[in-house]
C-alpha cells in the first residue's frame, strides 16, 4: 500500500499495517503526533519521504530513529535533524539504502562525513545531497566513494559550493562513475570548465543541471560542446547570460542531441533576440539527427527572462515555433 499525502490529524490513527510508501509534505507535528507516527511506522515500509515537516527539536529524534531498517528509499528535505541525529541514522539505516536524498537538514561537515563513510557503494542507485558546504576533506571522501560505486545512476549535489573551497567539487568531478545517467549540480559549480574536463567519464548522460552557475557564464562555452548526444534534459536556469552568446555555444555542438526533451532557461536574462537565436541553434542541433528522434520537440522553460508574453514579437515567435512542434513555457508577464 502507498500513501503519498497525509493531513496531520490523520496521524491520530494507526497507519495501514502493510504500508510500503509514505510521503509527508508540509505538515506540522506536535509532540503527541510525532510520537504516534514513530510508533505507527510499519516494518513493511520501503519508501519514506519527509519534506518540510515541522516538528519540534526534541521530537524529531525519536521519529527519525523509528524509521524501519527495511526502508530502501529515504528522502529528508527541509527538516532540521543535525549532525548527532544523522550519525545515529547513518549507523542504522543508511547502509541498507538504494536511494538517498538529504537536502537542507542542518547537517555540517561532521555529519556529512558520517554519511559518506557508510554509504553502500555496491547498491546505491541515486544520491542527492544539498545545503551542505563542500570542503576539501568531504570532497575527497566523496570522490573516494564514487570511485567504488557500481550501481549509481543519479548524483545530485545542490548548493554545496563555498567561497572557502570553491574548487573542492573538482575532486568529485574527477571521480564521476561511468554508470551515471543524471548529474545535477545547481549552485555547486563555480566554473563549467572544470566539469567539461571530465564529461568524457559519463558517456551515457541523460540529465544535466548546471543551474545557478556561480562563476562567469562564459565557461559554458567549454562545457556545451562536450555534452553527449544521449542528453534528454538540459537545465541552465538562474544564470545571467545577457552578455553571453548562448546560441553561438550551442552551434558548436558537434553530434546532434536527438533525444532532447527539455531545456530549462528560466531567469537566464535572455532578451528577445537572444531567445530567438537560441531556438534556431536548438533547431539545428535536432535537425542534424535522424527523423524519428525529433518528435515531439523539446519543452522549453523561459519563465523570468527579459521579455514578456505581452510583447507582440514574442507572441509571434512563440506561435511560429509552436507550429513546428515546440512546447514553450513563456516568460512572465
Q: What is the pLDDT of residue 133?
A: 87
Full DSSP string of 269-299: ---HHHHHHHHHHHHHHHHTS-GGGS-SPPE
Secondary structure element (H or E) that encloses residue 73, with its range = strand 73-77
3-class DSSP assignment, residue 173: helix
3-class DSSP assignment, residue 23: strand
Cell of 190: 563555480
In terms of Cα–Cα distance, which of 113, 53, 52, 107 is closest to 85? 107
Q: What is the mean pLDDT of residues 4-26?
A: 74
Band (pLDDT 50/70/90 cuts) for residue 2 is: very low
241-251 per-position pLDDT tens digit: 998 999 999 99
- More confident: 97 or 316: 97
Classify residue 265 as left (phi > 0), alpha (psi -120 to 50) or beta. alpha
Q: Enter the CATH code of domain 67-329.
A: 3.80.10.10
Strand locations in 114-241 (E): 126-130, 154-158, 182-184, 207-209, 233-235
56-108 per-position pLDDT tens digit: 877 888 888 889 989 999 999 999 988 999 998 888 888 889 999 999 999 99
Q: What is the mean pLDDT of residues 162-166?
A: 77
Distances (CA, A) of 123 to 98, 99, 296: 6, 9, 35
32-42 per-position pLDDT tens digit: 888 888 888 88
Amino acid at each position: 500500500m502507498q500513501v503519498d499525502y497525509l493531513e496531520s490529524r490523520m496521524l491520530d490513527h494507526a497507519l495501514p499495517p502493510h504500508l510500503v510508501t509514505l510521503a509527508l509534505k508540509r505538515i506540522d507535528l506536535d509532540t503527541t503526533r510525532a510520537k504516534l507516527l514513530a510508533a505507527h511506522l510499519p516494518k513493511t515500509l520501503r519508501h519514506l519521504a519527509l519534506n518540510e515537516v515541522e516538528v519540534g527539536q526534541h521530537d524529531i529524534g525519536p521519529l527519525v530513529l523509528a524509521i524501519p531498517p527495511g526502508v530502501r528509499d529515504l528522502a529528508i528535505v527541509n527538516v532540521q535533524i543535525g549532525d548527532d541525529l544523522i550519525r545515529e541514522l547513518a549507523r542504522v539505516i543508511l547502509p541498507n539504502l538504494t536511494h538517498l536524498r538529504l537536502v537542507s537538514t542542518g547537517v555540517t561537515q561532521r555529519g556529512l562525513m558520517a554519511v559518506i563513510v557508510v554509504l553502500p557503494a555496491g547498491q546505491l542507485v541515486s544520491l542527492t545531497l544539498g545545503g551542505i558546504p563542500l570542503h576539501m576533506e568531504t570532497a575527497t571522501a566523496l570522490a573516494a566513494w564514487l570511485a567504488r560505486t557500481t550501481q549509481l545512476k543519479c548524483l545530485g549535489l545542490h548548493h554545496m559550493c563555498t567561497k572557502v573551497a570553491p574548487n573542492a567539487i573538482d575532486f568529485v568531478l574527477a571521480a564521476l562513475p561511468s554508470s551515471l545517467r543524471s548529474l545535477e549540480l545547481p549552485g555547486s559549480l563555480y566554473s563549467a570548465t572544470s566539469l567539461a574536463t571530465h564529461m568524457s567519464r559519463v558517456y551515457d548522460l541523460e540529465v544535466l543541471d548546471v543551474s545557478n552557475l556561480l562563476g562567469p557564464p562564459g565557461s559554458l562555452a567549454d562545457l556545451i560542446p562536450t555534452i553527449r548526444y544521449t542528453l534528454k534534459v538540459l537545465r541552465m536556469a538562474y544564470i545571467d547570460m545577457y552578455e553571453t552568446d548562448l546560441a553561438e555555444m550551442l552551434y558548436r555542438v558537434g553530434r546532434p542531441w536527438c533525444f532532447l526533451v527539455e531545456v530549462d532557461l528560466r531567469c537566464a536574462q535572455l532578451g528577445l533576440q537572444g531567445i530567438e537565436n537560441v531556438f534556431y541553434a536548438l533547431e539545428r542541433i535536432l535537425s542534424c539527427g535522424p527523423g524519428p528522434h525529433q518528435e515531439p520537440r523539446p519543452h522549453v522553460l523561459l519563465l523570468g527572462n527579459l521579455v514578456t508574453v505581452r510583447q507582440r514579437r514574442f507572441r509571434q515567435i512563440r506561435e511560429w515555433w509552436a507550429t513546428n512542434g515546440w512546447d514553450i513555457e513563456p516568460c512572465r508577464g
